[in-house]
Amino acid sequence: MWLLTALSYFTTFLAGIAALIAALYVVSFAIPKAAFFARLIAFYFSILVTCTFILPVCLIFRLVGQGGSGQWAGGRLFRYLVQITMGISFEIQDPHGVLDKVRPAVLIGNHQAEFDLIMLGTIFPRNCSVTAKASLKKVPFLGWFMLLTKAIFIERANSKNARATMKKAGDQMATMRQSVYVFPEGTRSYTKDPVLLPFKKGGFHLAVEAGAPIVPCVVANYSHLIWLKEFVLRPGKIPVKVLEPIPTKGLTAADVDDLARKTRDLMLDELVHLTAEAQGKVHAPLPGSKKTK
């Protein structure tokens, strides 16, 4: 009985948020700024709805032997909710069909803001997850979700044995043929310009240990659509370019610095030009960019 009561309250709560979003969109015809708050609330509303329904879906996937598809399924649900409630979408350009053909792989992407969650929901192929610190296994709901979806857990606290930790994670990737998505910048850049923060090396060590290729995924700078500091949150399409895989077979830890540098250079070049296309501008090459188109 208490479960039905709780479900009734929660359903009413969700309906109330949905009504608030709709009301703000109506008000935006007279007060344009109201649309910003409507889309911002819609973003977190979509996260809440996705989290509510994805755990039982992931459990079903796991029971039928498809646990690695859980994050793919949750991401797609989130992506469609956001398209409906916010009008924002990420358009994947994968000319070589890498996302469908290459597995396992370490997908490396630039990280601009929390709205990259929408991008992950769009780009995640089946049998792909994120890396996470091992302690998250014990966190209710989040830990359960990650266990069900075969997340790659890393003992980050064990810095004295980092190589062994990466080898274990790499073996898990190879055994399960599980790809992972990594943000090597380590934090959100929150920048208006097409730039990259320095890369951390963890994802590259993981790729070398697993013998998996690096797949660079470049997201155009989307500050023209999303810039919270100035209350900008507009509908639109944001391009994401999947570059050709960079092989790691035969590489060792000694090669990681060069591998990270090469990947970052390729991504920065593409970021400058992809952003120019997305924003309809011509960007001069930024410091550190190799191309001079």
Structure tokens at 208: 């070398």
Phi–psi pair at 246, nearest 5 degrees: -105, 115
pLDDT value at residue 142: 67
- For residue 288, being part of any structural domain is answered with no
- For residue 120, being part of any structural domain is answered with yes
- For residue 171, being part of any structural domain is answered with yes
Phi–psi pair at 165, nearest 5 degrees: -65, -45
pLDDT value at residue 160: 58
- For residue 286, being part of any structural domain is answered with no
Does residue 104 have a cis bond before it (omega within 30 degrees)?
A: yes
Q: Give how many domains the chain has, as a whole number.
A: 1
Element (H, E) at 21: helix 2-27
Buried b (16+ CB within 10 A) or exposed e, 190-225: eeeebbbbebeebbbbbbbbbebbbbbbbbbbbbbb
- For residue 293, being part of any structural domain is answered with no
pLDDT value at residue 183: 92
- For residue 235, being part of any structural domain is answered with yes
- For residue 290, being part of any structural domain is answered with no
pLDDT value at residue 293: 39
pLDDT value at residue 281: 72
Torsional class of 211: left (φ above 0), alpha (ψ -120 to 50), beta (otherwise): left
Give the range of the structural domain holding residue 168, as residue numbers without chain letter.
2-279
In degrees, rounded to 5, the angle at the alpha carbon of residue 151 between the alpha carbons of residues 145 and 155 is 115
In which residue ranges of the chain is pLDDT below 50?
A: 284, 286-287, 289, 291-293
Element (H, E) at 161: none
Contact (CB, 8 A) for 149 and 170: no
Instruction: Give dist(CA 232, CA 118) in Å, integer.
Output: 17
Supply the CATH number for residue 244's domain: 3.40.1130
pLDDT value at residue 5: 86
- For residue 208, being part of any structural domain is answered with yes
Structure tokens at 217: 């995924």
What are the angstrom distances between the C-alpha of 71 and each of 121, 150, 238?
Answer: 8, 9, 21
pLDDT digits (tens, 9 = 90+) for 54-65: 888 888 887 887
Q: What percentage of the chain carries pLDDT values higher than 90?
A: 60
